[in-house]
Amino acid sequence: MATMAELMSNSVQEMAANGQEPPVKYFYKGNDGGVLDSSVPLIEIQVVDLGLLSSPSTSAQELEKLKLALSTWGCFQVINHGMTSSFLDKIREVSKQFFASPMEEKQKYSREADSIEGYGNDMILSDHQTIDWTDRLYLTISPEDQRKIKFWPENPKDFRAMAISLNLEESCFLDQYGEQPLVTARFNFYPPCPKPDRILGVKPHADASAVTFLLQDKEVEGLQFLKDNEWFRVPIIPHALLVNVGDQVEIMSNGIFKSPVHRVVTNTKRERNTLAVFCIPESDNEIKPADGLISESRPSLYRKVKDYVSIYFQHYQQGNRPNRSSKGFDLFHLQ
């Protein structure tokens, strides 16, 4: 049996700091390596104002914008969301401080070999797997009784308070989410990478969530979305949150809302910090296209699923995406 040390890969941050040559398992096998320059076009991303969305005189127009965004790109930036700029900056700061703390400190929160929760990087499931150039801290935020406080850093002191107040449960509004949807937070740290043309921060994937909220780095770009076989950069709006549809809302909306394929590219000079918050329906709930969205002209395009996240992770590390089509269970290959 493989030992714990064999199953866990090294911290990417240490490799970067030591100027170590990245092992080949980090090299992306696809023919489309990542680039971070202006030759990659920017998404003309919709910016949705939550204030306008909730005010009767302006909501219709804002709702149209939302629908257009979700049915074309599957993502938008949200402003006027009620979280102050100083609060968002504080999250960024606390996350930076955690990753900047000594390795012995971070290792107190190391994930266990067979689970994603805690501090670490990709789980190694196969010899052929491409590993992402990122270290992460992955925490369950809600339901509260599923929090594993042992993984929540004690330092910086503000960390636990910050993460608790990030409870975005209210945004998970659909019935299919169930009474106790899961909200998880992934603090992502991408150190500078010596081989950005060969190594990705996160390989191409779509999210297993219903909806994902991303707090981007304020200064360093990296996230790209795929549309019509072309990659597009996401612009930075410092105090906006990026919202993207995950596979489960694509299923619930019978494919009207798109769960976009995205990736993170690396760069040689600057580290990048982001926070992704995933809203995930209760695993016992059956997820299926809403009845109102099925008709003779638009039959149900997806199979019913339960515990989609488990199905998803069985495929993810191999670079595959489960095919949720009602027609079968082929795999959609991403690398």
Ligand X SMILES: O=C(O)CCC(=O)C(=O)O
Closest CA to 14 of 155, 158, 119, 152: 119
Contact between residue 273 and residue 185 where contact means Cβ atoms under 8 Å apart: no
Which residue type is seen at 1? M
Phi then psi for residue 296, to 5 deg, are: -60, -40
Q: How far apart are CA 95 and CA 276, in angstroms?
A: 12
Q: Which does 243 bind (CB under 5 to 8 A by kind): Fe ion, ligand X, none?
A: none
Q: How far apart are CA 259 and CA 165, in angstroms?
A: 27
Q: Which of residues 260-299 bind ligand X (CB under 6 A)?
A: 262, 264, 274, 276
Per CB under 5 A, 62 contacts Fe ion = no
Q: How far apart are CA 138 and CA 313, in angstroms?
A: 15
Q: Which does 13 bind (CB under 5 to 8 A by kind): ligand X, Fe ion, none?
A: none
Q: How far is the CB of 209 from Fe ion (least distance, A)?
A: 8
Q: How far is the CB of 52 from ligand X (least distance, A)?
A: 26
Per CB under 6 A, 223 contacts ligand X = yes
69 vs 301, beta carbon nearer ligand X = 69
Q: Which two tokens stand for residue 73?
A: 């790109």
Q: Which does 209 bind (CB under 5 to 8 A by kind): Fe ion, ligand X, none?
A: none
3-state helix, strand, coil in the chain (%, to 5): 25, 25, 50
Q: Give the contact letters, 167-196, x = binds to ligand X (CB under 6 A), - = no.
A: -------------------x-x--------
Q: 139, 202, 251, 305: which one contacts ligand X (CB under 6 A)?
A: 202
Q: 207, 255, 285, 319: which one contacts ligand X (CB under 6 A)?
A: 207
207 vs 221, beta carbon nearer Fe ion = 207
Residue/partner pairs of 54-63 with CB below 8 Å, 24 or more apart:
none
11 vs 188, beta carbon nearer ligand X = 188
Per CB under 5 A, 221 contacts Fe ion = no
207 vs 250, beta carbon nearer Fe ion = 207
Q: How far apart are CA 115 and CA 132, in angstroms?
A: 17
Q: Nearest residue to Fe ion, using CB?
A: 207
Q: How far is the CB of 274 from ligand X (least distance, A)?
A: 4
Q: How far is the CB of 309 from Fe ion (least distance, A)?
A: 13
226 vs 293, beta carbon nearer Fe ion = 226
Burial class (CB in 10 A: 0-12, 13-18, 19+), 281: buried
CA distances to 8, 125, 233 from 115, rounded to whole Å, are 11, 11, 31
Residues paired with 76 in a beta bridge: 243
Contact between residue 262 and residue 206 where contact means Cβ atoms under 8 Å apart: yes
Q: How far is the CB of 224 from ligand X (least distance, A)?
A: 9
Per CB under 5 A, 207 contacts Fe ion = yes
Q: How far is the CB of 36 from ligand X (least distance, A)?
A: 12
Per CB under 6 A, 222 contacts ligand X = yes
Closest CA to 143 of 177, 119, 99, 120: 177
Q: How far is the CB of 196 from ligand X (least distance, A)?
A: 15
Number of residues that bind Fe ion (CB under 5 A): 1
211 vs 288, beta carbon nearer Fe ion = 211
Closest CA to 209 of 167, 175, 260, 160: 260
Using CB under 6 A as the criterion, which residues of the chain lie in contact with ligand X when the complex forms?
186, 188, 202, 207, 214, 222-223, 262, 264, 274, 276
Using CB under 5 A as the criterion, which residues of the chain lie in contact with Fe ion when the complex forms?
207
